[in-house]
Chain A
Amino acid sequence: MTSGPGADQHERPDLTGADAGTVLAGLYDAHARPLHRYLSRRLDTETADDLVAETFLAAWTGRAHYDPARGTARAWLYGIATNLLRRHARREVRGLRALARDGGRACIADPLDAVAVDRADAEGRLRAAARTLAALRREERDVLLLVAWADLTPAEAAEALDIHPRTARTRLHRARTTLRRKLRTQETDR
């Protein structure tokens, strides 16, 4: 974690100056790849390529709206990207349902991990998680995935979505509670 005035300037830059283009290019260098990681998990790699570019173009045209007092540039960018994702909301849900149907193999990054914990159990839980993610209310899924996939804190997710931090925490709590309940049901049914 960085700190100090320099770090703050980096995290909450002034995008109103004549050097805004340079600043935004720096933000691109710092955040494009992690942002792509988040977007490709929510949709697919090819769409993420476009959405990353669109996010920064939207950031450039909307830079006057960025208020450093309200949040970090990182949160702002993830907020723009999450808004852009909404055009693809149905496709995202279809993808998650397909993930749930196709089984957990595609979900598991490290096969050794799966071996260690009983592959069938792991796949079952992951299928249930994908199915539940698809069924979550979109705004709850947004907060959960900004936290789990983009590593934003709940407060940063609130900044990204322009919602009250308490609302973000409530949405996160609801999403986790729903997941927990579904997973318990799935474990009971086995």
Chain B
Amino acid sequence: MTDDSEIDGLVRRLRAGRPEMSEPAFTEGRARLLAAVDRAPGSLPEPPLAARRAARPTARRLLPLAAAVAIAILGGGVVVVSVTGEEIPVAPPAGPEQPAGPWYERPLPAIPAEPRNDAGRLGENATDLVVAPGEYLYIERRPRGRDTAEPARTWIPADRSGTWQRTTEDGTMFGDGGRFDTKVVGWWHPDAGFTAALPRDPRALYRQLVADQWPREDAPAAAFRKIAQLLADAVPADLRRALFGTLGYLPGVAVGAETTTGDGRTAVPISIDDQGFHRIVLLVDPATGLLVGGHQVQLVDAPSGREGGLVPAGTIVGEWTADYAVVGRMGDKP
């Protein structure tokens, strides 16, 4: 059995004969919903930022847009944000280092008055490689421990809104502004326009992450991964500086002592625990504020896929390093 469809077909047969939803259950569920609607027909618990953005999908304006004040009730704190983006009352002081609650019910808390960690210093020396018009920033991300694996290579034009190339084991893609395989632009699919519109103030960036969080699992770790994705694309230094500053406000983020990457370069680790399963570790070159490596640490024992196999807690999985260069043409290697 090798085909994915055969595997899915087998899974589909499991418990396929379960009875359909009964009419009484359907009716009762509908009645409960309508009763809730009747109790609060017009009130909306939070401002419809998302819907406003959806109504203007091309406008990547920063929040808040139209409301005079927006009130966000998140976790333990209340933040009132004016149209200028300034906070009126301050949220509770910096809380415990680790986010509260189980990871699957963990929203981003309101921004504390002071940073929770010193991630911001990682961006203090952020610099960009000089890419002249017509040249390309070349990023090579190489998995370690898999010598036969091809690295992922990205070519970014001097004008980041131009055409990018990304070549991975799965093939080569081209995308205007770095938008490769999606029509949706956002944190998970940032293109040049999205990153250009992001604020350069760490607190404003944090507030945007709060407003944009999907009320789902482990929002601090999700925000960390969103930022990591932008850093991996070597976004301009002013934005990297702000992103490191924002990481300073995220609960659960730890900045470690200077270490070395798998290939021996000096780096500072910054990490967060993701859903209780992995610790995501990014390695930052303190001289440039560029990501030069990273890995994940297994936090719990997990089946390895081999019969009876186990990946014990503490195992490093998915280690990689990154190199940067400037090349003259898309597709060229340094």
By size class, the interface of chain A is 35 or more
Query: Which of B49-57, B131-139, B153-161 lies at the binding interface?
Result: B49-57
Q: Is the CB of A70 within 8 A of B186?
A: yes
Residues in A with CB closer than 8 Å to B104 are: 83, 86
Residues in B with CB closer than 8 Å to A45 are: 18-19, 21
Contact of B11 among A40, A69, A148, A162 (CB under 8 A): A148
Q: Is the CB of B46 within 8 A of A178?
A: no
Contact of B36 among A40, A61, A136, A163 (CB under 8 A): A61
A61-B36, A69-B57 are contacts. A52–B29 as well, Cβ < 8 Å? yes
A137 and B17 CA atoms in complex are apart in Å by: 25
Give me the interface of A with B, judged by CB distance under 8 Å.
Answer: 12, 14-16, 18, 20-21, 24-25, 28-29, 32-33, 36-37, 40-41, 45, 48-49, 52-53, 56-57, 60-70, 79, 83, 86, 99, 106-109, 113, 125-126, 129-130, 133, 135-137, 139, 144-145, 147-149, 161-165, 174, 176-185, 187
Q: Is the CB of B15 within 8 A of A41?
A: yes
Tell me if B257 counts as interface (CB < 8 A to partner A): no
Residues in A with CB closer than 8 Å to B36 are: 57, 60-61
A37-B21, A61-B45 are contacts. A181–B34 as well, Cβ < 8 Å? no
Q: Is the CB of B26 within 8 A of A32?
A: yes
Tell me if B200 counts as interface (CB < 8 A to partner A): no
A57-B32, A139-B275 are contacts. A41–B18 as well, Cβ < 8 Å? yes
CB distance from B19 to the nearest CB of A (A): 6
26 contacts between A and B (CB under 8 A): A14-B51, A14-B55, A32-B30, A33-B20, A49-B22, A53-B29, A53-B32, A57-B36, A60-B37, A61-B36, A62-B45, A64-B48, A67-B50, A67-B54, A69-B53, A83-B104, A108-B17, A109-B16, A109-B17, A125-B10, A137-B303, A144-B11, A149-B12, A176-B4, A182-B307, A185-B307
A68-B54, A180-B1 are contacts. A28–B277 as well, Cβ < 8 Å? no
Number of interface residues of B (CB under 8 A): 62
Give me the interface of B with A, judged by CB distance under 8 Å.
Answer: 1-2, 4, 7-8, 10-22, 25-26, 28-30, 32-34, 36-38, 41-42, 44-48, 50-51, 53-55, 57, 104, 181-182, 184, 186, 188, 214-217, 222, 225, 229, 275, 277, 302-303, 305-307
A182 and B186 CA atoms in complex are apart in Å by: 38
